[in-house]
Amino acid sequence: MERNDHLLSLLQPRTVAVVGASRTSGKIGNVVVANLLSAGYQGKIFPVNPFADEILGIPALHAIEQLPHGVDLAVVCLPREQLAPTLERLGGVGVRSVCVTSTGFKEVGREGYYFEMEAVEVCRRHGIAMLGPSSLGLYNAALRFNALAVPSAPEPGNIGFFTQSGSLGMAILDATAGKGVGFSHFISLGNKAVVNETDIIRHLKDDPATKVILGYVENIEDGQAFLRAAQEATLEKPVIMIKSGATPEGARAASSHIGAMAGSEDACQAVFSQSGIIRVGGLREMFNLAVAFSSQPQPGGPNICVVTNSGGAGILAADALVRSSLVMAPLRGQTVDELKRFLASHASFYNPVDILGTSNAETFAKALAATAQDPLVHMLLPVVTPSCHADLEQVAWAIARQASECAKPVAACFLGDAATVGAREVLRKAGVPFYDSPEDAVRALDALFRHAEWMKRPLPVEICYMSNTFQAKDVLSKAKARGFSELVEFQAMDVLKAYGLPVPKTVLARTSDEAAQAAKTIGYPVALKIASPQIAHKSDMGGVVLNIKSEADVRRAFMDVTNRASRIKEAYVMGCVVQQMAPPGSREVFAGFKRDPQFGPLVMFGLGGLYVEVLKDVSSRLAPLSLLDVGEMVREIRTYPLLRGVRGEPPVDFRAIEDVLLTLSQIAVDFPEIVECDFNPIMAHPGGALVVDAHFILGRRSNGD
């Protein structure tokens, strides 16, 4: 979607046509008009039906051509065969956007796919923003605009929601009704033939009526655009998403469902990490977080205070806390003294504050007031169990009062069900989020905190290295001209050098004399490696000798290695590479990238050797990388302590590793023809890093780059 004004027409329509409007109750063309009317939409509504004069009391037009020019949005409820011709006619009267509720397109296979492509072509030509096809419609609270294709009315509120699955969307409306969850927008994306999640996120980011953005998607259309849009949005407001099909089984189900190729999960996870989107696993968690974000202020820090009338529930809250990024607030002496003044002597005055099961609502209120005013407390979590001593509605009032007064996030947990109905109603009206388990409440507060931290991050700085790309281009062209699909080691090293990467001193020696000379120049000890474009795994065939300390040994190694290689028939042997050895105390790491068809170049980092293979201990981010990205990548692997140094070892030079990663990102951006690239090993040491071996796989220029 390029034309932003047409997207605006779709999401904020001042006039709407319903093409295929129907007089028959239950038909989609009837439901849409009925929804528009009962929502109280103030814009002009034009039902279009060749045979009806009026629909639900509104005058109907018999043909599209009778529409005034430039209607903002047309909802199309016609069989798929009629879609393309209808769009053509709508384009003719200058309609700016459409929402297509018809089904039977890409989701049903090849035949539907052609109908969809035809429609897309017409939209492109007329610059029409199309939602769907197979959309269940859309809703905008501010405009009192309900064009859903099912008889359902979302509650108004500040949650902007979009969903790729219409049926899940409907289930969500049913599940959230009456629970204090209100929507600013409710958008069923359908097949995303034109308008997709990226467009919606861009719009909702600037929508003043939307405080939280929520989304359910099964695939992401354009990874790089999505990443940029999401990065911008999360600096404005929280974005919470489910990306299903995260697992191989799920992705298989996803492909059969919407006929979309699911992006690789690694790349997808990288997008979420890099963009600050809060990724959740299920619908309950999504709305648990949404209600907290939609009502609560940003916390000033990670300190939480639990106030409970059940010791057991307090322990469950403490357990949940440790699995989060929050901490139990240390209460200041004044607060503890205050609590001691009115709590029983065997209550717990420290966090979690256990006011005991025999406490009444007044005691609850006092304990909440005492803890809420403690500057060491950033968030409040009252955990309440039914008790014959406390009126739960009164407790709820006390919580609501604190929430409105203290300007700190409050999430309430009420255990039980029947006994807590009244209390929950009080909190719902007061706009305080409530949960039925301490874990859920903690998870919600944790999300508030993490989002607040995210917004404090400095803006990502993308580094652009000044480098000799001409020289690198030259190496690549030559290799391609000779028909190589990979670069030989010394060619690879030339690319690295062009980018100013630290490489070991390396000389190609064609004879043992040259090798001896090279070793002398470089300085002992040296390594010797076979040079042949056909031999990728050098050590497997005995093509590598390390730590050679004398001229005699260099000569012997040269003969050995080239002899062994000459036995491999298809290998063209150019000689041997003589190379400087990494300093002692080096730790082996690796870095590389591969191009994901949906998301672009995914840069990976990990410890070298067996760790990667066995532990899959790898971090990854999409290029282009920022300084923050590489800092996180290096530190989030599990084996990070080995880099920091154990048993008194000095740490490696992290800056040097980060430089390598940034350069790798730059290479990925500069040369789309490199489809895969491996720096392995990189010897990281306290004084720097050496890229000892590099491997480039060339391919055709991949599209999208």
174, two tokens: 């049913």
Q: How far is the CB of 607 from a second copy (least distance, A)?
A: 10
Cα angle 112, 117, 118 (rounded to 5 degrees) comes to 100
Number of residues that bind a second copy (CB under 8 A): 90
| Residue 132 Ramachandran class (φ > 0 left, ψ -120 to 50 alpha, else beta) | left
Among 3, 62, 124, 284, binds a second copy (CB under 8 A): 284
* Alpha-carbon span 301 to 448, nearest angstrom: 10
Q: How far is the CB of 462 from a second copy (least distance, A)?
A: 32
Distance in Å, CB of 321 to a second copy, minimum = 6
25 touches a second copy (CB under 8 A): no
Q: Which of the stretches 174-182, 233-241, 506-514, 677-685 binds a second copy when contact is defined by CB under 8 A?
A: 174-182
Q: How far apart are the first and last CA of the chain?
A: 18
Find the binder of a second copy among 85, 94, 127, 357 (CB under 8 A): 357
Residue 696's nearest CA partner among 466, 515, 464, 501 is 501
The enclosing H or E element of 688 equals: strand 688-691
Torsion sign across C-alpha atoms 117, 120, 121, 122 = positive
Q: Which of 690, 457, 447, 507 is nearest to 589 (CA)?
A: 690
Bridge partners, residue 602, by sequence: 594, 622
The residue among 242 and 692 lying less far from a second copy, judged by its C-beta, is 242
CB of 413 within 8 A of CB of 385? no
If one asks whether residue 166 binds a second copy (CB under 8 A), the answer comes out as: yes
Q: How far is the CB of 473 from a second copy (least distance, A)?
A: 36
Residues 94-123 that bind a second copy (CB under 8 A): 104, 107-109, 112
Q: Restricting to residues 302-341, name those near a second copy by CB under 8 A.
A: 309-323, 328
Q: Which helix (H) or strand (E) holds 396?
A: helix 392-406
Contacting a second copy (CB under 8 A), which of 436, 486, 551, 653? 436
User: Alpha-carbon distance 177 to 343, whole Å?
Assistant: 39
351 or 666: whose CB is closer to a second copy?
Answer: 351
Give whichever of 346 and 569 is closer to a second copy, judged by the CB atom.
Answer: 346
Q: Does 605 bind a second copy (CB under 8 A)?
A: no
* Span of 153-161, 574-582, 612-620, 681-689 interacting with a second copy by CB under 8 A: 612-620
Over the window 230 to 269, marking each residue x when it contacts a second copy by CB under 8 A and - when it does not, the resulting string is ------------x-xxxxxxx-xxx-xxx-----------
Distance between CA atoms of 672 and 676, rounded to whole angstroms?
A: 10
CB of 279 to a second copy, least distance (A): 12
Smallest distance, a second copy to C-beta of residue 612, A: 11
Residue 418 interacting with a second copy (CB under 8 A): yes
CB of 382 to a second copy, least distance (A): 14
Least distance in Å: CB of 284 to a second copy?
A: 6
Beta bridge partners of 413: 383, 435
User: Shortest Cβ distance from residue 430 to a second copy (Å)?
Assistant: 21
Residues 499-558 that bind a second copy (CB under 8 A): none
Is residue 438 near a second copy by the rule CB under 8 A?
Answer: yes
SS3 691: strand
- Write down the least CB distance from residue 668 to a second copy, Å: 28
Q: Which one-letter amino acid corresponds to residue 206?
A: D
Encoded tokens for 330: 């240390």
Which of 171, 261, 407, 536 lies at the binding interface for a second copy (CB under 8 A)?
171
Does the footprint of a second copy cover residue 282 (CB under 8 A)?
yes
Tokens of 8: 């605006």
24 binds a second copy (CB under 8 A): no
For a second copy, give the closer residue by CB, 317 or 657. 317
- In the bound state with a second copy, the residue whose beta carbon lies nearer, of 331 and 509, is 331
Q: Which uninterrupted H or E stretch holds 618?
A: strand 618-622
Q: By C-beta, is 346 or 567 nearer to a second copy?
A: 346
> CA 51 → CA 60, 62, 83, 111, distances in Å?
9, 7, 19, 30
Could you tell me the two tokens for 134?
């197979």
Nearest to 133 by CA among 146, 149, 144: 149
With the C-alpha atoms ordered 301, 307, 311, 314, is the resulting torsion angle positive or negative? negative
Q: Which of 387, 580, 626, 666 binds a second copy (CB under 8 A)?
A: 387
Give the residue with the Cβ less far from a second copy, 250 or 525: 250
Per the listing, tokens 């690319």 go with 495
